[in-house]
Each structure stands twice: as C-alpha cells, then as structure tokens.
Amino acid sequence: MTVTVLLGALIGLVLGLTGAGGGILAVPALMAGLGWSVQQAAPVALLAVAGGAATGALEGFRRGLVRYRAALVMAVAGVPLTAVGQSVAQGLSQTVLQTAFALVMLVVAVRLLTPGSGEGNAAAPCRVDPDSGRLVWTPATALAVAAIGALTGFATGLLGVGGGFIIVPALRRLSNLGMHAIVATSLFVIALVGSGGIVAALWHGRTLSLAVALPFLAAIVAGMLAGRTLVARLSPARVQRGFALALLAVALGMLAATWWPR
C-alpha cells in the first residue's frame, strides 16, 4: 500500500507539473512497483490518470480555458477506438507490448528534447476567431480534431495511457490555441477517453483492483494539486527537460528489463 501511494503521489506531481503528459508514467510505475504486466497495470493506471485529469480539467473550466466542443469531438472519435486498442493489445505478447510502450516513451522524450518541436504554424487548420475567442469550425477543423481523438483513443486502449502526449503536441501544431487552453482541453479529453478505456478494459475481461486503484487515485490527485502549486515557481523549460529525461530513463530501463532480463 505504501509503495502504491508513493507511486501515485509521484505520478500526480509530474502530471501537475507537466499539465497533461505525466500520465504516461503510470503504467511503468505500477509495473516496476508491483511487478504487474502492461495488461494488469493499464486499467488501474487509466482510472487514476482519468481521475487526476478530471481534477485538473475542473480548474480549466473555472478559468474558462477548456474548449469543450473540441474536447467532445475528440472524445466521440476516441472512445470507440479504445475498444479497438484493447482488442489489439490482447493479441500481442507481453514482450511486444512492453517494447511498444518503451518506444512510445522514447519518441515523446526525443520530441520534448528537440528545440522548437511541436510549435504551432500560421497555416494551422484549427483557428481561433480573434473577435469571439472561439474555434472557427470548418470541415478541416473537424477532421483534424477527430483524428487527434481517434489516435488518442487507440493509444489509450492499446497501452493504458491518458493520451496527453498525443493531444498537446498535436493541438500545438494544428491550432493557434494558447498553451493553457491546450492543456486544460487535453485534461478534459483524457478524463473522457480514459473513462471509455476503463469500460473497454472491463468489457475485455481485465480486472480492476480497487484496493490498489483507489489509494493510487487519491495519491495522484493529491500529488497533482501539489504540482499545480509548484509549477508557477519553476521554469517551464526545466520542467519539460526533466520530464523528458525521466521518460528516457524509464524507457531504456523498460527495454533492458524486457530484452535482457536477469
């Protein structure tokens, strides 16, 4: 129980500092701390990350930052794909699944360490009307937002991740939204799609240990609240670099444990 709470607090702290990407560490943390497989850890990680994301999204709603229409489109496109991801995961070996997870973390780490990666561009299909402050909905906007949601949903089902590492860089590249609005919207999508992922996991026969999940969730929420209070005192560049290095270390450790076990 102590290990679970400590892991949850650490993941919550990272989630609070990074805004949306820290949830990717939940599955490897449960695997390392409790000796679980990806399939065992995914439902518990999703419940905890979705709960933590919902807590962060509430703050975004209070500040008027959440683009709820875009979030709902992403959720509608993403939730059905969680079941597809779950089906694919069931057909993969533990070695393949752990390798895929590690490679995803490596890609995210490299992207975060690359200067200027993920910046928006002037020709972004998702544009904010400067007069109303709302997204201008065109067919290109709807297609781009739905595609982000679909990819997020598939990754959520396949790996048990929240998907912030997909949503945040995608919205930065495909929209001219401000970073605070992107993070708040991402957290809302994670809460919605993560909930769909939990349902898909249970539907596919995976078990959800509430004795582990509930303390883990409570610790994540507490850690996230602490992280949100600390983030204003830290340099965003240093937070991003530290998170990237942590991902790099965890990914390399997971690959070593998968391919060169003791």
- 170/185 Cα distance (integer angstroms): 12
Q: Please check the confidence at residue 181 and state whether its pLDDT lies above 80.
A: yes
Give, in order, the Cα–Cα distances in Å from 208 to each of 40, 72, 196, 198: 8, 26, 14, 9
Mean pLDDT estimate for the chain: 84
Q: Please check the confidence at residue 170 and state whether its pLDDT lies above 70.
A: yes
Per residue, what are the HEC states of 54-65?
Answer: HHHHHHHHHCCC
Q: What is the pTM (predicted TM-score) of this model?
A: 0.84
Q: Please check the confidence at residue 219 and state whether its pLDDT lies above 50.
A: yes
- Residue 19 has a pLDDT of 64
Answer yes or no: are the C-beta atoms of 15 and 7 closer than 8 Å: no
Q: What is the mean pLDDT of residues 210-224?
A: 86
Q: Please check the confidence at residue 166 and state whether its pLDDT lies above 70.
A: yes
To which residue do tokens 């609070």 refer?
16
Q: What is the mean pLDDT of residues 6-32?
A: 80
- Residue 117 has a pLDDT of 47
Work out the percent of the chain whose per-residue pLDDT is above 70: 93
Answer yes or no: are the C-beta atoms of 46 and 162 closer than 8 Å: yes
Per mean pLDDT, which range of 15-19, 89-93, 165-169, 220-224 is the poorest? 15-19
Q: Please check the confidence at residue 148 and state whether its pLDDT lies above 90.
A: yes
**What is the separation, in whole angstroms, between the first and last Cα of the chain?**
26
- Residue 192 has a pLDDT of 93
Domain range enclosing 201: 2-259
Question: Using one digit for the tens of pLDDT, what is the confidence trace for 244-261?
Answer: 888 898 889 888 888 886
Q: Please check the confidence at residue 31 and state whether its pLDDT lies above 60.
A: yes
Question: Using one digit for the tens of pLDDT, what is the confidence trace for 113-138?
Answer: 876 544 445 567 788 877 777 788 88
Question: Using one digit for the tens of pLDDT, what is the confidence trace for 190-208?
Answer: 999 988 888 888 887 777 7
Count of structural domains within the chain: 1
Q: What is the mean pLDDT of residues 40-61?
A: 85
- Residue 108 has a pLDDT of 85
Contacts of 118 (CB under 8 A, 6+ apart): 111, 168, 169, 172, 173
